[in-house]
Amino acid sequence: MAVPSSLAIEILRNGYESKKWTPSEVIESILLKIEQRGDDAVWIHRLTHAQLLEHVRRIETWKAEGKNLPLYGIPFAIKDNIDLAGHPTTAACPEYAYTPSQSATAVLKLIEAGAIPIGKANLDQFATGLVGVRSPYGAPRCVFNERYISGGSSSGSGVAVAASLVSFALGTDTAGSGRVPASFNNIVGLKPTKGRISAAGVVPACRSLDCISIFSVNTHDARLVMQIAEGADPADSWSRAVPQSSNSTAPDKFRFGVPRGDQLEFFGDTAAAELFTSALLTLEMMGGIRVEIDFAPFRETALLLYGGAWVAERRAAIGPFYDTSADAMDPVVRQIVAGADKFNAVDVFKGTYRLQDLRAQTQPVWQAIDVMVLPTTGTIYTVEQVRNDPVTLNSNLGYYTNFMNLLDLAGIALPAGFRSNGLPFGITLVGPAFSDLALAGLGERWEAKTN
């Protein structure tokens, strides 16, 4: 069958329109790829062949009826802390599993747009981690070198896109989980503004901070999926309507903020440092004007996420299960959630006050710059390294990611070259709330420049 190696949305749609292939042929091709990869720990649950063909028949009927289907026949993966009706949600903890009768709002919107769910993807248990090894279902590996981690917590979602098993995948991003796997697998990771996409039907990690994120092979696809899935939702009190006044384009000449040299941290990874320097030069060639910023208040904010009372929100998310079944949890995840015991209500208010101070300190930065540019991570680790030091190395990976939702920022992770050993490096563009489309537009310009 003449199915393309790339599953980019535009390529598939053009093929459907020209009758080069059909949705059922694309599904058959994907199933063959999955079979050939063997036990790669990407999936926790997959739809059966018959269930997939049922989806195909449904969208073919809709198309014949004239329904608008912008994602007609587009295959996607769903992180297994996001509900798909009639299929188990485990959050990578078998003892926690349940089968929802209703899909998450975002999933339902995508299916109604013609997308076909292939299955539920692996993750760090309860979306707690940036490494991708905290799951009883195995550890998905970096697609470029299986000795290295895929990144988490949306590990299976990232690898599913990078391995061309789906066109896009839904992840979640509380601390960086929608960006780190993108960097480690050379794909795009869009972390929308908090609440832009409803989190109804998502197992919460930190409910006040959680975001559904999008992995794709290019920025155009991520933006399209976001615009289909977005919108205020009565089922999610944290969801938000997109303001009509939101910034949708980046100026041709843009100011990009970069931390002072003494605030950049690559954890000894000189190749990553060199690639970041090269990325900054490319941005200048694109019309960017580099502005040095003080990263200290952003870094202090990041430390609140796991070092402050917000860890208690993770306990609140799974409290009843933790109270009765903590022994069933991954030991590292259990240790992190148990950290809630050292905080009390007074600590929560103290942390809230400090966060408000930091928001006030960081706000003027956005008057001086249009976008912040950061390494997505300072380095990458092997699976063995992470297993030998699971907490410290995970914390290192959050150096440039953990502050974003606390400060209500949007971000998009982009590929930015390869080290000499073949491992990818990525940058993240960061902007204020509802700058998502402007960031995506700049991301498309970046892709055109870097090919």
Residue 165 DSSP label:
S
Give CA 390 to chain center in angstroms: 20
**Of 29, 79, 120, 164, which one is the catalytic site residue?**
79
The reply to whether 435 belongs to the active site is no
**Of 29, 135, 153, 435, which one is the catalytic site residue?**
153
**Of 177, 198, 216, 239, which one is the catalytic site residue?**
177
Contacts of 375 (CB under 8 A, 6+ apart): 264, 266, 272, 276, 400, 425, 426, 427, 428
Residue 103, CB-side half-sphere exposure with 13 Å CA sphere: 16
DSSP for 363-385, written as a single string: TTHHHH-SEEEEES-S---BHHH
Residue 28, exposed/middle/buried by CB under 10 A (0-12, 13-18, 19+)?
middle
Sign of CA dihedral 224, 302, 395, 422: positive
Residue 411 β-bridge partners: 191, 430
Between the alpha carbon of residue 4 and those of residues 56, 366, 386, the distances in Å are 18, 42, 36
| Amino acid found at 292 | E
The reply to whether 153 belongs to the active site is yes
Q: Are strands 371-375 and 254-259 parallel, antiparallel or unpaired?
A: parallel
Residue 261 DSSP label:
G
The reply to whether 213 belongs to the active site is no
Residues 79, 157: Cα–Cα separation, whole Å? 6
On whether the CB atoms of residues 3 and 14 are closer than 8 A, the answer is: no
Q: Which residues are catalytic?
A: 79, 153, 177
